[in-house]
Structure 1
Amino acid sequence: MPQQSEYYLVITALGTDRPGIVNTITRHVSSCGCNIEDSRLALLGEEFTFIMLLSGGWSAMMLLESTLPQKGAELELLIVMKRTTQHPRPPMPVTMWVKVEVKDSPHLIERFTNLFDAAETSIAELTSKTSVCDITKEAKLYIEITLHSALTGTDKIVEQDFYRLCTELNAQGSINIVINPQHEQKDGN
C-alpha cells in the first residue's frame, strides 16, 4: 500500500468572539506545520465558528491533533476534529446563486433547501440572517445560497419552481444560473 504524503483534517472551533482569537488559532495551525486549504468563519450572536480544512504531513497532523485540544481549552473553545481525504469532485457544469427576502416564519429555509434537493443540486454555501425593521418591527429573513448541479437542461425547471415557491411564500427572490459553456457544447454533440 503506498504511503500517503498529505493528510487532511477538518477542524471546527466554536467560542465567544473576541479580538485576536482567529489569529491565535491560525498561528497554532501554522506552527504545527499544517496548511489551511479552505476556511469559513461566521459570527452568530456573541459566538463565532471557524471551520478549516487543513493539510499536512503525518508528523504535522499528529502534532496538531495532540496539541489542539489543550490550545482549545486555554482559549475556552469547543474544538471538533475529523480526518478526511482529498478527492476530486465530479463535474458540476451548472452553478446557481439564489437570494431571497421574506417575512420570517418557521420552515422557510427548509422549503428552499427541499426545492433544491428535489432538483438534485448540491448546496455549496448557505447563509441566512433575520433582522427586525426598526419602523415596522417586522422580522425579515434574508437567505443566500450557492448551488451546483451535474444536470444540464433542468435549469429552466429549477428556475420556474424557485419563482413559484417565492410567489407562494410572498417572497422577493432572484436566481442566477450559469452553465459552463464547455459542458453545454459537450451535451449538445
Structure 2
Amino acid sequence: MNKPNNQLVLSALGKDRPGIVDELSKAVFLLDCNISDSRMTVLGGEFAILLLVEGPWNQLARLESQIPELEKNLGLTIIARQTSDAATSEDAMPYLVEVVSLDNPGIVHKLANFFSKRNINIVDLATSSYAAPHTGTSMFAVQMNIGIPAGTAISELRDEFLEFCDSINLDAVLEPYKKQL
C-alpha cells in the first residue's frame, strides 16, 4: 500500500471486553484505511488504545463522522485528531533506556525530568509493576526510547545518568537503540 499523507490519530478508552480491537480495526478496514501504528493495553479493568490511521482524506473524514456511533456501540470514549508525519530530527540519536527498581512513587517523573533538563526527547515509554520472583517484593520496570541530540557526549551522558540512577537506587541501562529483526 502506498503511504498516504493523510493521518488520523484515534485514542479510545473504555471497559475491557473481547472484540473491541476487532470492531475498531473493522471500521478502519471498511473505509479502505490502514492502521500504520498502534498501542493497545488493558490498565486495571479499562482498555486503552492509540491508533495511527492513514488513508484518503475523505475516508478519514468518514471515520471521524462514525465516532459517535462507535462510542455508543463499543462503550468507549474516542478522541480523534488529524496529524501528519512526525518531524524527525536526523540529528537525534536513538537510544534505549531500561530501568528496574523497587516500586516507589515518582520514578517516571524523576527519569522524565533528568532527560527533559538535557533537551532529550522521550519518544516511547512503557512501565510495569510486578512481584519479584521468590520474594514477592513489589518491583517497577521502565523502558523508553529516547532521541539524544547530536553533539551530546554519550559517555558523559551515560556516566551522569548512571550516577543519577545510583543516587535514587535504580538499576539502569542506556544503550543505542537497535531495531528488532
TM-score of the superposition, structure 2-length normalised? 0.87
> Which residues of 2 match residues 154-169 of structure 1 at below 5 A?
154-169=153-168
Larger Cα Rg: Structure 1 or Structure 2?
1
> For the Cα contact (< 8 Å) 2:145–2:177, is it kept in 1?
no
Partner Cα separation in structure 2 for residue 98 and residue 77 of structure 1: 33
Q: Structure 1 residue 141: deviation in Å?
A: 1.0
Could you tell me which residue of structure 1 aligns to residue 26 of structure 2?
A: 27
Report the more deviating stretch, 144-153 or 134-143.
134-143
SS at match of 1:12: strand
> For the Cα contact (< 8 Å) 1:10–1:81, is it kept in 2?
yes
> Which residues of 2 match residues 78-97 of structure 1 at below 5 A?
78-97=77-96
Q: Deviations over 1:81-123 (max 9, x none)?
A: 1112235422144121111111111111111111111222111
> For the Cα contact (< 8 Å) 1:13–1:79, is it kept in 2?
yes
> Which residues of 2 match residues 87-166 of structure 1 at below 5 A?
87-133=86-132, 136-166=135-165
The root-mean-square deviation of aligned C-alpha atoms, in Å, is 2.1
Partner Cα separation in structure 1 for residue 109 and residue 26 of structure 2: 37
Could you tell me which residue of structure 1 aligns to residue 51 of structure 2?
A: 52
TM-score of the superposition, structure 1-length normalised? 0.83
Letter in structure 1 aligned against 2:157: V
SS at match of 1:114: helix
Partner Cα separation in structure 2 for residue 173 and residue 122 of structure 1: 18
> For the Cα contact (< 8 Å) 1:10–1:82, is it kept in 2?
yes
Partner Cα separation in structure 1 for residue 92 and residue 7 of structure 2: 26
Letter in structure 1 aligned against 2:66: T
> For the Cα contact (< 8 Å) 1:97–1:176, is it kept in 2?
yes
> For the Cα contact (< 8 Å) 2:13–2:48, is it kept in 1?
yes
Q: Structure 1 residue 70: deviation in Å?
A: 0.7
Partner Cα separation in structure 1 for residue 46 and residue 70 of structure 2: 18
> For the Cα contact (< 8 Å) 1:132–1:139, is it kept in 2?
yes
Q: Structure 1 residue 18: deviation in Å?
A: 2.0
Q: Unaligned 5+ residue runs, structure 2?
A: none
- Report how many residues are paired: 175
Letter in structure 2 aligned against 1:95: P
> Which residues of 2 match residues 63-82 of structure 1 at below 5 A?
63-82=62-81
SS at match of 2:59: helix
SS at match of 1:161: helix
Q: Unaligned 5+ residue runs, structure 1?
A: 180-189
